[in-house]
Amino acid sequence: MVTAGDFRNGITFDMDGQVLQVIEFQHVKPGKGAAFVRTKLRNVISGAVVERTFNPTDKFPPAFVERKDMEYLYNDGELFYFMDLESYEQLPLNADKLGDSFKFVKENMTVKVLSYKGVVFGVEPPKHVVLEITETEPGFKGDTTTNVLKPATVETGAEVRVPLFIDIGDKIKLDTETGEYLERAKA
């Protein structure tokens, strides 16, 4: 059993026949009254997001989400195709199952396909990816001390913010959860 006091981001549990995943949580201990846990939860099947408050001692059965490594192959406009690395079977998914962080995934990249009882509900890209800059304003040599960022487009078409010294053709390392620039990738 999972208690509300043990909630962390990403934990999945079963509540009232629904499979919920913790997106955000906050343990609150007011000056008067009992402590409580404020959460933001996502229904993994429907994608609906709700805010809910729990008593820290509330218990729920865990929901076991299968995370399977699959390779992203291509998209044909409507469907995105993934290949099982063990059986080589292809799995087509609609864009609504992919999530915001999928914009950093390029073809032939390995991702985790998330499913619950055989129903696919999401795709989890790697935590960090290396992508090439395809479009940005010209860089400034030697300007590495300021924290000023400029817009840039990476090879997947996603818009990111990078330091002024980054130029077209440079490879950068990005955090897929936040879309933040981490560092210039080693050549």
Q: Could you say which of 60, 85, 106 is where a domain stops?
A: 60
Query: What per-residue confidence (pLDDT) applies to 82?
Result: 93
- H or E element at residue 73: strand 66-75
The verdict on 117 and 76 lying in the same domain is yes
Q: Which domain holds residue 102?
A: 66-124
The verdict on 56 and 100 lying in the same domain is no
Provide the sign of the torsion angle of the four alpha carbons 15, 16, 17, 23, taken in this order.
Answer: negative
Reported as a single tens digit per residue, the pLDDT across 147-156 is 788 899 999 9
Asked if residue 143 has pLDDT above 60, the reply is no
The verdict on 110 and 155 lying in the same domain is no
Reported as a single tens digit per residue, the pLDDT across 34-49 is 899 999 998 887 778 8
Q: Which amino acid is at 60?
A: F
Bridge partners of residue 62, in order along the sequence: 13
Reported as a single tens digit per residue, the pLDDT across 103-119 is 899 999 999 998 888 88
Q: The domain spanning residue 52 has which CATH number? A: 2.30.30.30
The verdict on 85 and 118 lying in the same domain is yes
The verdict on 104 and 144 lying in the same domain is no
The verdict on 142 and 103 lying in the same domain is no
Strand ranges of the sheet holding 171-175, from the earlier edge strand across to the other edge: 159-163, 149-154, 128-136, 171-175, 181-184
Number of folded domains in the chain?
3
Q: Could you say which of 60, 88, 110 is where a domain stops?
A: 60
Q: Could you say which of 21, 37, 60 is where a domain stops?
A: 60
Reported as a single tens digit per residue, the pLDDT across 145-178 is 667 888 999 999 899 999 888 888 999 999 988 8
Q: What residue has token string 């343990």?
A: 27
Query: What per-residue confidence (pLDDT) applies to 64?
Result: 84
